[in-house]
Amino acid sequence: MVQRWLLHPAAKPVLWLLLAAPAASLLWRGFHDALGPNPAEALIRGLGDWTLRLLCLTLLVTPLRTWTGWHALARWRRSLGVTTFLYGTLHWLAYAWLDQGLDWAALVHDVAKRPFILVGTAAWLAMLPLAATSFNAAIRAMGGRRWQDLHKTVYGIALAGLLHFFWVKAGKNDFAEVALYGMVILGLLTWRWQRWRIGN
């Protein structure tokens, strides 16, 4: 039944609506001055939180498909990956606009000066080639093996994103969420490493 629903023509539009909902909520609350005493920080961090959540969901697709036999989940992985990149882009642009006023000289200086922003920016830039090759023509042009090798870098991106998140939370001595995301990402990496070890 789940497999049939995942293959239903309405599944993809429903997925896109669900994926757009967090950003739409944050932007609506921002325009209506409902993001609290520091709306710029709330918007930047909210978009960053959803980037990390969606990254974890993207990495979860293959293990979940293996455990459940719901092979139709494979058609959702690309949508999740592209949406993760879009949220990461909105997160970085919100920082560039609301925190740095789109002053590019100040941006370069700030990125170079603050390690957590440098790591976050590097993680976002590393997603660029993954997003740019997220369509069938790119797979054919690159060849399946090279395409897979490139997209395995998503695990390094996840670790960089986790480090970025850790530094953000360290400033407030708040590590509960960091530990949760760390366990999720470590579990997914362990599962993938075991699959690589047996050649799958």
CA angle, residues 138, 142, 148, in degrees to nearest 5:
90
For residue 69, give the DSSP letter: -
Distance CA 186, CA 68 (A): 21
- Tally the residues of the chain: 200
Other residues' Cβ atoms within 10 Å of the Cβ of residue 51: 27
The count of domains in the chain is: 1
Is 4 a residue whose pLDDT tops 70? yes
pLDDT in tens, 151-174: 889 999 999 999 999 999 887 777
Share of the chain above pLDDT 70, in %: 98
pLDDT band at 138 (very low <50, low <70, confident <90, very high): confident
Is 53 a residue whose pLDDT tops 90? yes
Q: Which are the contacts of 66, defined by CB distance < 8 A and separation ≥ 6?
A: none
Q: Which are the contacts of 9, defined by CB distance < 8 A and separation ≥ 6?
A: none
For residue 98, give the DSSP letter: I
pLDDT value of position 56: 95
pLDDT value of position 199: 64
pTM of the model: 0.92
pLDDT value of position 123: 96
Is 200 a residue whose pLDDT tops 70? no
Distance CA 88, CA 82 (A): 10
| Residue 13 and residue 5 in contact, taking contact as beta carbons nearer than 8 Å | no
Q: What does the mean pLDDT of the chain come to?
A: 89
Is 57 a residue whose pLDDT tops 90? yes
Q: Which domain holds residue 125?
A: 2-197
| Residue 142 and residue 176 in contact, taking contact as beta carbons nearer than 8 Å | no
pLDDT value of position 134: 86
pLDDT band at 31 (very low <50, low <70, confident <90, very high): confident
pLDDT band at 135 (very low <50, low <70, confident <90, very high): confident
| Mean pLDDT (whole number) for 108-129 | 94
| Residue 7 and residue 15 in contact, taking contact as beta carbons nearer than 8 Å | no
Share of the chain above pLDDT 90, in %: 57
Is 11 a residue whose pLDDT tops 70? yes
Amino acid letter, residue 140: R
